[in-house]
């Protein structure tokens, strides 16, 4: 499927059968120095990690695991009631040094390769745009990738993920507990409230990530839920 978008195959042994239908895409960065090193790691059975696709900084797309199989990319994670994220998702790794090795903007060739691949996947499985997420969205206690420099708004301009919400109300939640419940309703694991807020900010307001609940993110979350309830998004 979609072979014209794949430049090479590097079959990984790190997969098993799915237990759920595909309803999500999870975007990651590799946090390694080069695509070849990342590919080797995901093809090593000892690591027990993989993804369906790896996109190099130069735009080369490598398929590691067939889409009908469960790649091991998300680990312990949660989104919108789903705890077996690997079974429900396609995992795409972006070749990138990550925060540990000099965090920087994602390359243009990589983004240009991601767009058609993601568009095909979203169309093929009728994936809700709210379910095109970052690793930090589904594992806020452990992960921060792809991070605040990932161009979510640009991706949203192609209709491939939710855009940053326009704020309609100044401060719709009257206390933090109400906000946390709304955050869980949108999809986040709120086991650690501070980390969950950081993950929300990293995705929706990357210019300030402090884990603090304020009027702006309250209004953003309210609008996201309102749009979903009205059927504007899903």
Position 170 scores a pLDDT of 62
DSSP string, the chain: --GGG--EE---S-EEE-SS---EEEEEE--SSSHHHHHHHHT-TTT----SEEE-TT--EEE-S-TTEEES-S-S--BTTBS-HHHHEEEEEE---TGGG---PPPHHHHHHHHHHHHHHHHHHT--GGGEEEHHHH-TTT---S-TTS-HHHHHHTTSSPPPPPP-SS---SSHHHHHHHHHHHT---SSHHHHHHHHHHHH-TT---S---HHHHHHHHHHHHHHHTTS--
Which of 26, 151, 37, 149 is CA-nearest to residue 86? 26
Candidate list 4, 31, 57, 93, residue with the active-site label: 93
Query: pLDDT under 50 in the chain at which residues?
Result: 1-2
- Spell out the residues 6+ positions from residue 47 whose beta carbon is closer than 8 angstroms to its own: 14, 41
Which pTM value belongs to this model?
Answer: 0.95
pLDDT at 17: 99
Question: Do residues 230 and 168 touch, judged by C-beta distance below 8 A?
Answer: no
What pLDDT, on a 0 to 100 scale, did the predictor assign at position 122? 98
Q: Determine whether 112 is an active site residue.
A: no
Whole-number Å distance between alpha carbons of 38 and 42: 6
Domain positions in the chain are 3-157, 176-229
User: How far is CA 131 from each of CA 70, 105, 177, rounded to the nearest angstrom?
Assistant: 17, 23, 24
CATH fold for the domain made of 3-157: Lysozyme-like (3.40.80)
Which residues pair with residue 27 across a beta bridge? 92, 134
Q: How far apart are CA 95 and CA 122, in angstroms?
A: 21
Give the pLDDT of residue 234. 75
Single out the residue of 52, 69, 67 nearest to residue 18, CA to CA: 69
């Amino acid at each position: 499927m979609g072979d014209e978008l794949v430049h090479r195959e590097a079959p990984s042994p790190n997969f098993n059968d799915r237990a759920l239908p595909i309803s999500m895409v999870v975007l990651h960065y590799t946090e390694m120095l080069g695509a070849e090193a990342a590919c080797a790691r995901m093809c090593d059975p000892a690591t027990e990690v993989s993804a369906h696709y790896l996109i190099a900084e130069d735009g080369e797309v490598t398929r590691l695991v067939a889409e009908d199989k469960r790649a091991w990319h998300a680990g312990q994670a949660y989104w919108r009631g789903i705890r077996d994220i690997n079974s429900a998702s396609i995992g795409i790794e972006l070749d990138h040094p990550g925060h540990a090795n000099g965090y920087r903007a994602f390359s243009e060739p990589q983004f240009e390769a991601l767009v058609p691949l993601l568009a095909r996947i979203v169309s093929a499985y009728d994936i809700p745009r709210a379910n095109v997420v970052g690793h930090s969205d589904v594992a806020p206690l452990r992960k921060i990738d792809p991070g605040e420099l990932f161009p979510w708004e640009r991706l949203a301009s192609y209709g491939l993920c939710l855009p940053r919400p326009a704020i309609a109300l100044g401060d719709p939640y009257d206390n933090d507990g109400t906000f946390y419940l709304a955050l869980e309703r949108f999809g986040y694991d709120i086991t650690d409230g501070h980390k969950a807020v950081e993950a929300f900010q990293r995705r929706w307001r990357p210019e300030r990530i402090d884990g603090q609940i304020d009027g702006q993110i309250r209004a953003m979350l309210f609008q996201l839920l309102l749009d979903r309830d009205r059927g504007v998004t899903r």
